Amino acid sequence: MRTLGFPEIRRNDRPCPLALRKGLALLVHLAEAGGPVGREAIATMLWPEDAADVVRARLRRLLHRLQAVLGDDALVIDRSTVRWSPAIDLQIDSRLFEQACDGGAFERACRLYVGDFLDGFSPGDSPLFDEWAFFRREALRGRAIQALERMVHDKNAAGDYAAAASYANRLVELDPLSEVYGRHLIRNRLLTGDRMGAERHLAALTQRLRDELDVAPEAETLALLSAGAASAVEEPPPTRYTSGGGVHLAYQTYGAGRLDILMLPGFVSHVERVWEEPRCRTFLSALAGMGRLILLDRRGVGLSDRVGFAPSVDATAQDIGTVLDAARSRRVVLFGASEGGPACIKFAADYPDRVAGLILFASLAKGSATPDYPHTLKPGQYDMWLRQLVEVWGGPAGIETFAPSLSEDPRAKAWWAGLLRAASSPGAIKGVLETLRDTDVRHLLPRISAPTLVMHRRGDNAVRIGAGRHLASHIAEARFVELDGADHWAFAGDQQPVLTSVGEFVDGLAV
């Protein structure tokens, strides 16, 4: 069964033509389920508006026609469920693709990913199926981007610049407005000696940015075609991998200093694409001037391995330790931003000897409100916000809340939308945010012994300032800094007061 691209079924290498769109949708859904599916669930998915007796009759006729095309041995049908027969050696490309990603066979994964899941296909008048297909499509697309990114770096490191350019070209096709992907392509074209091709791709990128965003390429992109610039342009730090807890974690180190500063961002991250936004790059570079900066993607997001569950605070704290070990860090300042704060709190409470200081920016101790913690959204409000976020995934979801000062900036919006698509999928991030909703680390706050700096902007609408005040009042001798502004992201808006406070705090620890 081919599901990557327009769907197709072949038996014994011969096509099984199906003129039944709902039949093809049913077979794909059964294959993805990998087991029995209830007849009622199928009926509701394919004919949501019809009466129950009409739907049952339609499903019976559809199953009969499918057996006529596939053979009586293809499906196992009983009074309540339908499934593909276990006796059938069913090969489905989406599952083979995921298995290749799970096994680190990224080159094979890239070969298998010939198109988006069910590209151009819909059974018609079946919104539940279309919604299911959308979430599945975005999840697989995110993994494809991750696999292509890995191959660009692997081929570039091996000196196979032509192959690296080929994979970079596929990344550009998936995200045409990403200057990071565009620079990968242009740089590797130059390294193969194809200057004309590099110029052609730069011209195409310039046109896209002008047409879609009404902006010009960054100076860093334009400088690639200057004499010697292919090697002279400063690149983001290289991404490394370490394994722990059965997953591979992506991390970077940048700069030097007496102390290490590990930054853990909120619910989504991507250690490479964060450098694409100029203000974020300036902010991270400033942190790297205060000490060695360590960035990581927690399991399940960014360039780290996807997992079949939402990572808990305990799992993310474990990831912090794994990356610190890989970076050979003895003492660290943990910088937990937003939802990254609870995992930093957990690590600081459990490993006080390894933590020189704790910085919490726009963070919180509990994911949803209760009578004794009114500083966040109530569970029902949280779930409504989460539904709204997932519905607009693929665009700059939530930027008006996270960074109101950037919400009208077309380049920032395109960057945020691209980072979201590359870092996760709507279904996966839903699980991550549901786990964060249920997070509660208030009991750990009295155990924090490291010097602590808590910062919060007064107008923050993503996490209210009361959450920051609560943290500061429950951590012994924590210093609380209230900042002007409404941006939830530390690098958005006026970042200098943030950097000044961090610099003073780090300097005090290094004495």
pLDDT at 247: 85
The answer as to whether 105 is a domain residue is: yes
Q: Kindly report the CATH number assigned to the domain that includes residue 369.
A: 3.40.50.1820
pLDDT at 308: 64
Q: What residues does 38 pair with on adjacent strands?
A: 81
pLDDT at 50: 82
Tokens of residue 7, six digits: 């769907």
The answer as to whether 159 is a domain residue is: no
Q: Are residues 470 and 331 in the same domain?
A: yes
Q: Are residues 114 and 173 in the same domain?
A: no
Report residue 244's pLDDT band, with 50, 70 and 90 as the boundaries.
Answer: confident
The pLDDT tens digits for 346-379 are 999 999 999 999 999 999 999 999 999 999 988 8
Q: For residues 57 and 241, what is the distance between their CA atoms, to the nearest angstrom?
A: 54
The answer as to whether 278 is a domain residue is: yes
Report residue 435's pLDDT band, with 50, 70 and 90 as the boundaries.
Answer: confident
Residue percentage of the chain with pLDDT more than 70: 97
Q: Please name the amino acid found at residue 137.
A: R
The answer as to whether 132 is a domain residue is: yes
> Alpha helices of 21-121 — where are they, by DSSP H?
21-33, 39-46, 52-70, 93-102, 106-112
Give the domain-ending residue among 204, 232, 260: 232
The domain total for the chain is 3
Q: Please name the amino acid found at residue 185.
A: L
Q: Residue 342: which of 267, 239, 423 has the closest Cα?
A: 267
pLDDT at 233: 47
Q: Are residues 309 and 410 in the same domain?
A: yes
Q: Are residues 171 and 255 in the same domain?
A: no
Q: Are residues 211 and 274 in the same domain?
A: no
Mean pLDDT of 101-126: 94
The pLDDT tens digits for 249-299 are 999 999 988 899 999 999 899 998 999 899 999 999 999 999 999 999 999
The pLDDT tens digits for 202-233 are 999 999 999 998 989 988 888 888 754 444 44
Asked if 137 and 118 count as a contact pair (C-beta separation under 8 A), the reply is: yes
The set of residues, in sequence order, having a beta carbon less than 8 Å from that of 95 and lying 6+ positions away, is 32, 34
The pLDDT tens digits for 146-199 are 899 999 989 988 999 999 999 999 999 999 999 889 999 999 999 999 999 999
Q: Are residues 280 and 378 in the same domain?
A: yes
The answer as to whether 87 is a domain residue is: yes
Report residue 309's pLDDT band, with 50, 70 and 90 as the boundaries.
Answer: low
pLDDT at 511: 56
The answer as to whether 143 is a domain residue is: no
- pLDDT at residue 89 tops 80: yes
Q: Are residues 55 and 184 in the same domain?
A: no
Q: For residues 124 and 20, what is the distance between their CA atoms, to the nearest angstrom?
A: 11
Q: Are residues 436 and 501 in the same domain?
A: yes
Q: For residues 299 and 245, what is the distance between their CA atoms, to the nearest angstrom?
A: 10
The answer as to whether 412 is a domain residue is: yes
What residue numbers bound the domain in which 453 lies? 240-510
The answer as to whether 196 is a domain residue is: yes
Q: What is the dihedral of CA 447, 451, 456, 461, to 10 degrees?
A: -30
DSSP helix, strand, coil percent of the chain (3-state; round to 5): 50, 15, 35
Q: Are residues 172 and 92 in the same domain?
A: no
CB-based burial of residue 308 (10 Å sphere; 0-12 exposed, 13-18 middle, 19+ buried)?
exposed
Q: For residues 377 and 462, what is the distance between their CA atoms, to the nearest angstrom?
A: 9
Instruction: Give exposure, 143-165, as e/b (b: 16+ Cβ within 10 Å).
Output: bbbbbbbbbbbebbeeebbebbb
pLDDT at 235: 67
Looking at every residue in the chain, the average pLDDT score rounds to: 92
pLDDT at 142: 86
- pTM (predicted TM-score): 0.80
Q: Are residues 244 and 208 in the same domain?
A: no
- pLDDT at residue 464 tops 70: yes
Report residue 19's pLDDT band, with 50, 70 and 90 as the boundaries.
Answer: confident
- pLDDT at residue 413 tops 50: yes
Give the domain-ending residue among 82, 114, 136: 136
The set of residues, in sequence order, having a beta carbon less than 8 Å from that of 45 and lying 6+ positions away, is 29, 126, 128, 129, 132
CB-based burial of residue 204 (10 Å sphere; 0-12 exposed, 13-18 middle, 19+ buried)?
middle
Q: Are residues 485 and 351 in the same domain?
A: yes
Give the domain-ending residue among 232, 266, 284: 232
- pLDDT at residue 430 tops 90: no
- pLDDT at residue 38 tops 60: yes
Q: Are residues 98 and 226 in the same domain?
A: no
